Amino acid sequence: MSYIANPERYEKMTYRRCGKSGLKLPAISLGLWHNFGGVDVFENYRAILRTAFDNGITHFDLANNYGPPPGSAEENFGILLKKDFAQYRDELIISSKAGYLMWPGPYGEWGSKKYLVASLDQSLKRMGLDYVDIFYHHRPDPDTPLEETMAALDLIVRQGKALYVGISNYQAEDAAKAIEILKQLGTPCLIHQPKYSMFERWVEGGLLDVLGENGVGCIPFSPLAQGLLTDKYLKGIPTDSRAAKTHGHLQENQVSDGAIAKIRQLNDLAIGRGQTLAQMALAWLLKDYRVTSVLIGASRVSQLEDSLKCLDNLDFSHDELQQIENILLG
């Protein structure tokens, strides 16, 4: 049975302008970092993508190495794009990235023009696309001149392979330099994708100011601190959680007694707001006008639906914000 999108999909979603650009993004975007690879269940991630679009999520975020295995998330997304979303392509913002190791040898990672152009060509082929809407440099390269990396992003736009470009994981100083180089080249930096959550706040040490001053959007990833900012760890480490998997990005030692104590206090505050902890954590990020969208992951439809409910209450009182600060700094 062919997929027909919900005709009311745009009625509840909030869309926010990305910096000073003409582009608006949904307040909640879907990342395909986990749960969409070759090791995952097709019908499960198909249902997640359909539910996302049916609820007004128009932005799907990928990277060359997402899987596992690397590349499989883009391949799977390409299959679903053809099967379910082909007629909706012009309603979608599809992004990809390159920067981490993707193939062997000296041209398979980092930030050279050789790598970035080749990687995007491979990504377009995997997804069956003529262009992506946003293409990111995924991480700073300590050895390649920043001018070369930014020139590669400029070239990619001029070639018609991406409409916009962005950067990810750049600290404030390097981000400011990259933004200025792109501005001089005539291809403005649209957006920055940093790791940002209640538990990871380095972006507040200058990066958000750089983005705000230069009219660049911000789209945090790992907004729930790999699941820590949910109710799943209130009673310890579940056997099916990321912290229980030795290969995961959330390690068991991160779920400390101190972290659990903070999670419990934050959870009580969220309940008082009529939200789950995850919903409050997402709303807390969206309170900042410089944050265009928050990038969430989902392993099942119910997780996605729960996250979307954060949009029902994005406002915080001064007292609530102070309580959150006291908990986080305590």
Q: What is the pLDDT of residues 9-50, one digit of tens each?
A: 999 999 999 999 999 999 999 999 999 999 999 999 999 999
275 is a domain residue? no
| Cβ(315)–Cβ(284) below 8 Å | no
| Confidence (pTM) | 0.94
Return the structure tokens found at 36.
Answer: 């969409």
CA distance 87 to 91: 9
Phi then psi dihedrals of residue 295, to 5 deg: -95, 110
**Nearest Cα residue to 166 out of 314, 321, 19:** 19
Mean pLDDT for back-to-back runs of 10 residues, the chain (330 residues): 95 97 98 97 98 98 98 98 98 98 98 98 98 99 98 98 98 98 98 98 98 98 94 72 51 73 96 97 97 97 97 98 96
Helices (H), the chain: 42-54, 72-80, 113-127, 146-158, 172-185, 207-214, 257-272, 277-286, 301-308, 318-329
pLDDT in the model for residue 246: 42
Examine residue 322 and state whether it is found in any structural domain, yes or no: no
Distance of CA 283 to the CA centre of its chain: 15
CB-neighbour burial class of residue 65 (10 A; exposed 0-12, middle 13-18, buried 19+) = buried
By residue range, what is the domain housing residue 54?
A: 15-225+288-300
Tell me what pLDDT residue 247 has: 41
CA dihedral over 286, 290, 293, 297, signed as positive or negative: negative
Nearest residue to 53 via CA among 26, 22, 76, 34: 26
Please check whether residue 102 lies inside any domain of the structure.
yes
Going by their DSSP bridges, the two strands 24-26 and 15-17 should be labelled as antiparallel
What does the pLDDT read at residue 235?
A: 75
In the chain, the number of structural domains is 1
Q: Report yes or no on 29 lying in a domain.
A: yes
**Dihedral sign computed on CA atoms, order 112, 202, 184, 190:** positive
Q: What are phi and psi of 16, to 5 degrees?
A: -125, 140
Answer yes or no: is 191 within a domain.
yes
User: Under a CB-based contact definition with an 8 Å cutoff, are residues 324 and 266 in contact?
Assistant: yes
**Buried b or exposed e, range 294-317, using 16+ CB within 10 angstroms:** bbbbbbebebbebbbebbeeeebe
The conformation of residue 58, written as its DSSP 8-state character, comes to: -
- Phi then psi for 23, rounded to 5 degrees? -95, 135
At residue 1, the pLDDT reads: 74
CB atoms under 10 Å from CB of 289, counted, come to 11
Instruction: Give phi and psi for 11, each to the nearest 5.
Output: -80, -30
Residue 313 belongs to some domain of the structure: no
What is the gyration radius of the CA atoms in the chain, in angstroms? 19
Which domain CATH number covers 109?
3.20.20.100
pLDDT at residue 239 in the model: 58
Could you tell me if residue 251 is inside a domain?
A: no
Residue 236 within any structural domain of the chain:
no
